[in-house]
Structure 1
Amino acid sequence: MSFIRQTAPVLPTPAAGTFRQVVESFVLLAVAVLLFRGFAAEGFMISTGSMAPTLLGYHRRVVCPDCGFEFARGASEEASDTEAIARDKYDIGFEEPSDIRCPNCSLTAIPFSTLPRTEGDQLLVHKHAYEFRDPRRWEVIVFRNPAEPREAYVKRVAGLPGEQIEIRGGEVFANGVLCRKPLDVQRAIKVPFARFVNRTSGADTDVQSGWQTAESRSRWSISGKNPAFDGLAGPTQIETEWLTYRHWIRAGGRHSSSVPLARWPVKLSFPEGEYSSIQFAEGRLACVGVLSDLERRTWLARCDDPEFQLAINQLFEQSHLAPLVDESGYNSVDEIGEHTVDEFFTSFTLHQVSGQGRIEIRLRDSTNMFAAVLDFGSRECRLLRNDDPIPVRQCTWKPDLPTDQIQVDFSLFDNQATLAINGAPALEPFPYEAEGEPLPVRMPLQLGAANLSFQVTNLTLARDVYYVSKAEKDAPPVQLGPDEFFVLGDNSPVSVDSRVWAEPAVPRRALIGKPLVVHLPSNSRRLQWNGQNHDVRVPDFSRARVVR
């Protein structure tokens, strides 16, 4: 009789087991992704810039060599192939015309074509999102072009079934009512144009900081990387001290500026012709665009009349303060509209707040000024309109704000004042109507403080999308059927959408689904190998995000 002894099983070595587990995990993950994509989701890649900056098509990442502001600039897929061949074969770079302008400091002639090209955002789209409900207003959707079903588009829903949609003054109206964006959509759709940067004018007086303090001995410190305020040192502070953003551009512009001048100097030749930088008529000295420092010094050298010299210096200053327009770093200068904008969004983070004073954030549109006051003495938050001391909104902080770090978002989008603290609404949004004659906005933001000490980081300004009607005048209203949607691209100047299609409505049957996330993000990096330049894709998980 033979006996068989049961022995302990032979276990694989730890290294072999770990390797096998990793391989099996990847295989199972791949199978799960394939099943998920086959039945519940589908991947799409953005190729155009019609939804920028929310979703990016082929683009290049630009870092301004002067102020360090980083922004995406649209790039064509076709041109990049030619550029790559030329770089690799002939070791040269294409220098495009200087149509790249930094939104933050207005520097032009930024090298562009030599930067690596990055592919567009890749979307994971939930294909069954709209089987049991319709898309909501301001949701991003993917749908098939009704005229060419093989083409898939991604746009934002602006009009719902049965509504009459009209674009007027850059806004969307449904059945005559202004459509206002919720805070999460505002954050996704805003177009940044300014960030606090410490800079000095130097020898070139055309280049000046947009951030200024009014007082010569201000308690604001703006000489470092980030602004700081110390209202606790020295005597008790009574008046609020302000840090102001003024939209200073160094050159160009299409705006008009004028200053008073009683008479033209007798001994000075009168400016004539279209090539003259200034014009004089009816007691006003005027120019279009920026009056450069070179032109200013030229006119000052030609005439020593005190009144004329004062007017020239005033015109120099005023012409550099340009109205805000629907400009985007993603588009070329030729694609910049001439529409003035007045709906702004500011965000920043407060650090190490101490004291019992207050912080006041003032935002202006073309007819109103709103102030959000954070009072650390009374632990109150107040929203004031214009010069009225009675708040239109008010609340007590519950729970008390942590003073080590406070994130603040304040906006005036769609004629509505919205304030958020640490990501959550602090007050009920306040809708309002425009009052008085609209004026171009050149100084949209002031940040004031009294009897506090704190630091500020990530101080930025952005604007709302200005929806261009794509017609010489505001386009007539569009009546939607019971199964139709009106869609718009976030990059309004260049987007092809319901504003221009012969059949503007998107039928419900054309819907593909709802984009969930930007996944598998990557950026291009340039490497040299065997004497040649090669653009390679490397993961960039900072671009992975939920689509809002």
Structure 2
Amino acid sequence: MAPTLLGRNKDVVCPKCDFDFTIGASEEVNQESGRLQHRITQATCPNCRYDIDVRDNNVFNGDRILVTKFSYEFADPKRFDVIVFKYPESPNVSYIKRLIGLPGETIKIEQGDVYTRTSNQQPWEIARKTDPDKQQAIQLSVYDNDYRETALHAAGWPLRWTGMEQRDGKEELDGWVDSETGWQTISDGAAYQLFGADSEEQRWLRYRHIVPTNRDWEDLEAGRPLVQNPVPELVLDFCSYNTTSMGQRNAGSVEDPSRYWVGDLTINFNADIRNAGNTSELVVELNEGVRQYRARFDLQSGQVQIYMLDHFLADSEERLVGTAESTVVAGDTYDIRFSNVDNRLCLWVDDDLVEFDQPLNYEAPGFPGPRERDRVPVGIAARGADIVVSDLLIQRDIYYRANAVPGRFGKPQDVTIQGMGENDSHDLYTNRADPETWWKTYIRNTDDYSLVFEQLADDEYFVMGDNSPRSKDSRLWENDRRAVHRHAIKESSLVGKAFYIFWPHGLPIGNDGKGYAIRYHRDNFNNKTDYPTYTAPFLPQIGRMERIR
């Protein structure tokens, strides 16, 4: 029987914004007996943060996958392959994780990124995916504007996207304030329009990370006044797969509240460029700490140039880092994606990766912490053009947490793992709207917030799960086997490469989409419960039968 790509899970559709997502449900059952121990009652929507009753949602055992067991007979495993292997602590159990570290490498996890080197004399190199399209396949949603918190907006809650202008001398939000001129909303914020063909003034549309809490939803439903002028906050590593509750408390504040700032972002949108003057341009901007990255499109020639601004330097003027030809000119519609992930900038137009005259990789800045502008981290600007933008989607990279099995004084239990790791204080979440205080809390008056895993042997590998906050992987394995490297798996433990999802869980039909129960869970006393294990009939999810990236 093939292993599953996902563990036990539930599909959820938010009743407030219609966003669909998946939550983990493995903790409901005893992993050895399969008996029901608890029942998940709530989950938090990653888009609008509404707490949803999921107690009666169908539960699924996960996707069935094809594993090519012969792959590594003819070629060595590659970094970021999804592999199946025998769990080191229990070889009769198969695990599936993403391969991160290769034989002979030392691994460092720092601020969500992975770095490697093969000797202490070498500099650390960030581990990034060679294929940007493969990187894009594992991005996580931060906010999809097609699924807005409409009920809150109707009661006065601000839209996250709005026209803004920058004022000198104002520190909050790096001087960005709302502007009543320029960009106008269409269809209650579904799209934004600029009539600027006759103007030489650049007008900005910006994303403000204004995130409601379940308390805001409770105030709305109880008829109480909403918070006035809610403030933008940092983008944190919120993971809806884990943000669930077994009890009646708010799921988002119980199981796994987000902690860590994520600066690696991607903006996706559709641009309908209807009219443009001779000096027209479209600008797309991503902020990360002291850096700003801009893609500037000439809407007459189609040329696009990438610029970098580094405010840590004395000279913070725009610096050209790459030039390319694109198809983006006035008179047509384009799907544009601009990403800043793993110290690399990438640009796609209509799903085609734009090739620049030089690599868009860069070295990390001198100051690694967040700034005020990270509360308004994404912007789109235009000059001399009439434009409508829609389908606005912001995504983030996976944030790999620097966690290890703790020992004395907060240090890792294993001497082959060096460093203090990341501060796990709830104050990080509390200070999410104050970048300076957040950073001081994060570093704890030390620069030792990374973890370094000792060099792997010639037959060892390091693996991590994409669900980093909860993944049981190389960082957190037990060591009853008394291995020299608790964080490693041996080459002899490899089963093969996960290749294809050939049978995603079925979609129940009938009975309001729940199907009809044909088998029920049993509790620890072997009593039959009212919680279905399997339902029928169902339809296959042909659209999710796909190659694993």
Task: Calculate the TM-score normalised by the size of structure 1.
Answer: 0.70
Show the counterpart of 1:364.
287
CA 541–455 in structure 1, closer or farther in 2 if over 3 Å, else same: farther
- Tell me which residue corresponds to 2:50: 107
Aligned partner letter, 1:196: N
Counterpart of 2:107 in 1: which secondary structure? strand
C-alpha distance in 1 between matches for 2:369 and 2:470: 26
Residue by residue, what CA displacement relative to the aligned partner does 1:382-423 show, whole Å, maximum 9, x if unpaired?
Answer: 1111263442111223x7779644332211112222222233
Give the superposition deviation at 1:78.
Answer: 4.8
Which is worse superposed, 453-462 or 62-71?
453-462
Partners in 2 of 1:162 and 1:436 — Cα distance? 30
Q: Deviations over 1:95-121 (max 9, x none)?
A: 9554x222112222x121222223312
Task: State the match for 2:261 in structure 1.
Answer: 340
- 1:259 maps to none
Distance 2:331 2:76 in 1: 42
CA contact under 8 A between 1:336 and 1:493: conserved in structure 2? no
- 1:188 alignment counterpart: 137
Counterpart check, 1:419 vs 2:359: no
Matched, 1:123 2:65: yes
Unaligned stretches of 5+ residues in structure 2: 118-123, 165-178, 244-251, 310-315, 405-409, 411-419, 422-450, 480-485, 518-534
Tell me the residue number matched to 1:75.
25
> What residue in structure 2 maps to residue 211 of structure 1?
161
Segments of structure 1 that go 5 or more residues without pairing to the other structure are 1-42, 47-54, 87-93, 254-288, 299-312
Structural mapping, 1:377-416, within 5 Å: 377-386=300-309, 388-397=317-326, 404-416=332-344
Q: Note the alpha carbon deviations across 1:150-195, whole angstroms, 9 max, x for none.
A: 2111111111111111212222111222212341232122111201
**Structure 1's 96 and 488: CA in aligned 2 closer, same or farther, altered over 3 A?**
closer
Q: Do structure 1's residue 221 and structure 2's residue 170 form an aligned pair? A: no
Alpha-carbon spacing, 1:239–1:157, altered in 2? closer, same or farther (3 Å): same
Q: Distance in 1 between matches of 2:185 and 2:135?
A: 30
Q: Distance in 1 between matches of 2:387 and 2:330?
A: 13
Kept after mapping to 2: 8 A contact 1:117/1:524: no
Partner of 2:370: 439
Residue in structure 1 matched with residue 465 of structure 2 by the alignment:
489
- For 1:436, give the aligned amino acid: F
Deviation at 1:252, TM superposition (A): 6.7
Measured at CA, do residues 202 and 352 of structure 1 come closer, stay the same or move farther in structure 2, by a change above 3 Å? closer
Q: Which residue of 1 aligns with 2:425?
A: none
2:441 aligned partner? none
Task: Name the SS for the 1:361 alignment partner.
Answer: strand
- Residue 68 to residue 336, structure 1, CA distance change in 2 (3 Å): same
CA distance in 2, matches of 1:162, 1:364: 35
Partner of 2:395: 462
CA distance in 1, matches of 2:365, 2:74: 39
Moved over 6 A (4+): 399-403
Distance in structure 2 (CA, Å) of the matches to 1:476 and 1:237:
54
Kindly provide the amino acid, as one letter, of the partner of residue 510 in structure 2: L
**Mapped partners of 1:146, 1:411: distance in 2:** 36
Aligned-residue CA RMSD in angstroms? Answer: 3.5
Paired letter, 2:348: A
Question: Residues 451 and 324 of structure 1: is their aligned pair in 2 closer, same or farther, counting only changes over 3 Å?
Answer: same
Hey, what's the Cα distance between the residues in 1 that align with 2:511 and 2:18? 25
- 1:322 aligned onto 2:233: yes
Aligned-partner Cα distance in 2 for 1:400–1:418: 16
Match of 1:350 among 251, 271, 293: 271
Q: Provide the C-alpha distance between the structure 1 equivalents of 2:21 and 2:331, rounded to a whole number of angstroms.
A: 31
Report the Cα offset of residue 489 of structure 1. 0.5
> Structure 2 length normalisation: TM-score?
0.70
Q: Structure 1 residues 439, 393: CA separation in 2 closer, same or farther (over 3 Å shift)?
A: same
The separation in 2 between residues aligned to 1:402 and 1:219, in whole angstroms, is 18
Are 2:7 and 2:24, in contact at CA under 8 Å, matched by a contact in 1? Answer: yes
Letter of the structure 1 residue corresponding to residue 353 of structure 2:
P
Paired residue type of 1:168: E
Cα shift at 1:219: 3.8
Q: Distance in 2 between matches of 1:66 and 1:252?
A: 12
Query: Secondary structure of the equivalent of 1:208?
Result: coil
Distance in 1 (alpha carbons) for counterparts of 2:228 and 2:353: 42
Shift of 1:490: 0.6
SS of match in other structure, 1:516: strand
Q: What does the per-residue CA deviation read over 1:78-136, in whole Å, with 9 as the maximum and x for residues that have no partner?
A: 5599xxx99xxxxxxx99554x222112222x121222223312111111111121111
Q: CA, structure 1 residues 316+439, in 2 after alignment: closer, same or farther (shift >3 Å)?
A: farther
The structure 1 residue matched to 2:11, chosen from 58, 61, 67, is 61
Structure 2 CA distance for partners of 1:412 and 1:202, relative to 1, 3 Å = closer
- Identity level (%): 27
Amino acid in structure 1 at the alignment position of 2:102: L
The aligned residue for residue 177 of structure 1 is 125
Deviations 1:208-229 (CA, angstroms, capped at 9, x unpaired): 3212123324344343573143
